[in-house]
């Protein structure tokens, strides 16, 4: 199958990955209502086509947090993403660099900060959760600085993991010990391409950033159990003082869906925020990001840089998000499907697709540059009210 779109890469990823790993990446929480809304509500945003606008050149470049980008796009952090391809985060950061955009490394990545830094030639972003062990957080931030990370993405919508039923059904969670290991091993054997590329040649199978605290207990069940115990549900806005004391670079708050929270982030000195519902993986039934974005952008867009993620599957979706008020867009499943299917080459291809699709949309909407994209390029917002 030749991939011509992000949805094609999703199918290729499904065919190649062990069932438990694909379900983890593809699924959401509970009944997955918000997961579906993220895609459907964004698709429902109608672009306003204009003709004879003399758009002979389209400029996709922008600038975010002091960094010049070729596209108004970044690769979002994906937990366990490096297990989809051999040393996957190393491949992803190289693909992002080739496209002239940032890569964001997850706290719970397969490859450690230092390993990704060795593969990178430019600064990348680092994503951090609030963890009970502040000394460990302090150490992670020091490692991120040493690795040359240029921005910190602080995720605030995961005080504890959401309930993801697909992970229970697939055997990723809820099947501890020998039986769980056996189920996952059998699923891996049924995918020989992945088993050879990642299972055998992609070792070590550890979560590099958590190795100092996980030690020998580095299996998937150990990781999931550690998350449940160590993520800090007592975290509040005052804890941003701790982050600011340890990090002097751009601070981006990820997981904002409410205008009041957006205003609080601006008041406390964040440099940016990401309108996000964690890809529909946390609290099911909350609004799609396409619905939450416009009022947040209107409320705080002059005070800090508003980004968005959730449901983005094409360059048209990127244009929609920017027209709704985002300054930039993070891709999540779009790049991880491609990495799982074809490694670095797949991610590079998806970013080229995004580029080409944006150029068509902007030309036919009469917007020659990213700065020209706005609400006037939308035909109808009534379906988002």
Residues labelled as active-site residues: 278
Contact status, residue 60 vs residue 370, Cβ threshold 8 Å: yes
CA distances in angstroms from 25 to 31, 78, 101, 244, listed in the order given: 15, 8, 22, 31
Contacts 24+ apart (CB under 8 A), 36-41: 36/280, 37/280, 37/287, 37/288, 37/291, 37/311, 38/277, 38/279, 38/280, 38/288, 38/289, 38/290, 38/310, 38/311, 39/311, 39/313, 40/288, 40/311, 41/288, 41/290, 41/291, 41/311, 41/383, 41/384
| Conformation bin of residue 104: beta by default, left when phi > 0, alpha when psi is -120 to 50 | beta
The CA distance from 54 to 57, in Å, is: 9
Take residue 4 and report the two structure tokens written for it: 């011509």
């Amino acid at each position: 199958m030749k991939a011509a779109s992000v949805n094609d890469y999703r199918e290729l990823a499904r065919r190649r990955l062990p069932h438990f790993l694909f379900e983890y990446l593809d699924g959401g929480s509970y009944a997955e209502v918000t997961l579906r809304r993220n895609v459907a509500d964004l698709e429902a945003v109608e672009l306003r086509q204009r003709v004879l606008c003399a758009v002979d050149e389209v400029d996709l470049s922008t600038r975010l947090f002091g960094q010049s980008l070729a596209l108004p796009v970044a690769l979002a952090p994906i937990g366990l993403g490096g297990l989809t391809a051999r040393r996957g985060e190393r491949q992803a950061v190289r693909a992002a660099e080739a496209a002239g955009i940032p890569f964001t490394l997850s706290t719970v990545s397969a490859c450690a900060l230092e390993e990704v830094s060795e593969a990178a030639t430019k600064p990348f972003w680092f994503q951090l959760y609030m963890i009970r062990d502040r000394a460990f957080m302090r150490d992670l931030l020091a490692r991120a600085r040493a690795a040359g990370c240029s921005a910190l993405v602080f995720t605030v919508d995961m005080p504890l993991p959401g309930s993801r039923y697909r992970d229970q059904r697939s055997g990723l969670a809820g099947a501890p010990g020998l039986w769980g290991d056996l189920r996952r091993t059998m699923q891996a054997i049924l995918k020989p391409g992945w088993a050879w590329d990642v299972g055998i040649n992609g070792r070590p199978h550890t979560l590099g950033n958590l190795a100092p605290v996980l030690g020998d207990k580095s299996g998937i069940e150990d990781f999931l159990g550690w998350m449940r115990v160590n993520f800090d549900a007592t975290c509040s806005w005052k804890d941003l003082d701790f982050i600011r004391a340890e990090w002097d670079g751009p601070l981006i708050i990820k997981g904002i869906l409410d205008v009041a929270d957006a205003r609080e982030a601006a008041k406390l000195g964040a440099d940016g925020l990401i309108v996000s519902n964690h890809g529909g993986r946390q609290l099911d039934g909350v609004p799609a990001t396409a619905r939450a974005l416009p009022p947040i952008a209107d409320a705080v867009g002059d005070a800090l840089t508003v980004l968005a993620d959730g449901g983005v599957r094409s360059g048209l979706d990127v244009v929609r998000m920017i027209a709704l008020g985002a300054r930039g867009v993070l891709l999540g499943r779009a790049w991880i499907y491609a990495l799982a299917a074809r490694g670095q080459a797949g991610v590079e291809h998806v970013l080229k697709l995004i580029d080409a699709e944006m150029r068509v949309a902007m030309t036919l909407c009469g917007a020659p540059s990213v700065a020209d994209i706005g609400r006037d390029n939308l035909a109808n917002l009534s379906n988002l009210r």
